[in-house]
Amino acid sequence: MAGKDYYNILGVKRDASEREIKQAYRRLARKYHPDVNPGDKDAEARFKEINEAYEVLSDKEKRQKYDRYGEQWQYAEQFAGAGGRQNVYWDFGQGGSQGFQFDESDLDSLFGGLFGGSRTGTFTRRARTRRGRDIEYPVSVTLEEAFQGTNRILSMESNEACKTCNGTGRIQNALCSVCRGSGLVAGTKRIEVKIPPGVQNGSRVRIAGKGEPGYGGGKNGDLYLITSVKPHRTFERKGDNLHSEVPVPLTVAILGGEVQVPTLKGKLALKIPPETQNGREFKLTGQGMPHLGKSSHGDLLAKVKVVLPTSLTAKEKKLFEELKELRKND
């Protein structure tokens, strides 16, 4: 197989399962992600290569084509439809055209022989349109960003369809020198993307038309942001509910009162009933994470953590002694 070895890029065997391929991709994507390696061009190039390999091997149909045709898997339909051969049409200018069939590997040498001198004819190669590939791009966000939604500016490799040859890879009877026959012009582009409120680990955010460009006038693929949410020091997320511990002084737990509860919107007052036991949970409805794509929210579950007093004065100790005597039969 000539060209890139996608199996080797992901470090898996050719008979690897879908699960093994996905695990290898996630491990490598985390290691070489640009956010983890800022300014490292080698890591950035490796990350793009990993995404390219995963895009093909994670798709059953694309993988089958790749296993058979190698890096030229995109042209599998053309090979299969012509039995491994391509149609070439020669226009004589006066009386119509006549068709011939040649092997794909013979085309370039054929063109050099036929058109090396004066070019009195017109070569037409009928290229099919092809939709661009989808791209997956991992993005890490904080819990606050997942709560409010946020924007990211991504630096991505760009393979735009060549405007000189309209993405066909050919100009009349020759390879396009601008795109070198690939139909694409490589470069780097920066795009701003919006991450909606409510994303969680593994959410797929679709950015339409921002994937690989199509070939021969085909539509662009889509970009999928694969989000991961960083751990938070105060809140634990379970689905769209948030869990936290709320310190409650012993006197408030016994006599009742109010405490301040932190939320992702700010602090709220929570009424504590008298004789509240340590570990009791209070539900603050609608103070959790947004439901992705909806206006509603999950809940915040605040768990009481009773705080015992320290550095007691002599009077305070005496009061506790009196309380002890009063409840000695309990």
Please report, for the chain, the start and end positions of each structural domain, with discontinuous segments joined by +.
82-124, 127-231, 236-326
pTM: 0.57
Q: d(Cα 292, Cα 302) in Å, to the nearest integer?
A: 23
Residue 91, pLDDT score: 37
Q: How confident is the model over 40-86, as pLDDT tens digits?
A: 888 888 988 898 889 889 988 888 888 887 767 776 666 555 454 44
**What is the tens place of the pLDDT at every residue in 285-312?**
999 999 999 999 999 999 999 999 999 9
Q: What digits encode the pLDDT tens for the residues 110-168?
A: 344 434 443 444 444 445 788 888 999 999 999 999 999 999 999 876 666 666 676 66
| CATH-assigned architecture of domain 236-326 | Sandwich (2.60)
Query: Which residue do the tokens 């405490």 mark?
Result: 259
Closest Cα to residue 263, out of 238, 243, 282?
A: 243
pLDDT at residue 98 tops 60: no
Task: Name every residue whose Cβ is closer than 8 Å to that of residue 55 and which is 6 or more positions away in sequence.
Answer: 62, 133, 134, 135, 136
pLDDT above 70 for 186: no
* The pLDDT value given to residue 173: 56
Predicted pLDDT of residue 156: 73
- The pLDDT, as a whole number, for residue 267 is 95
For 16-29, write each residue's pLDDT tens digit.
999 999 999 989 98
Model pLDDT for residues 229-265, shown as the tens digit of each residue: 999 999 999 999 999 999 999 999 999 999 999 999 9
Indicate if 236-326 has the same CATH topology as 127-231: yes
pLDDT score recorded for residue 236:
96
Q: Which CATH class is domain 127-231?
A: mainly beta
Q: Which of 223, 230, 53 is nearest to 154 (CA)?
A: 223
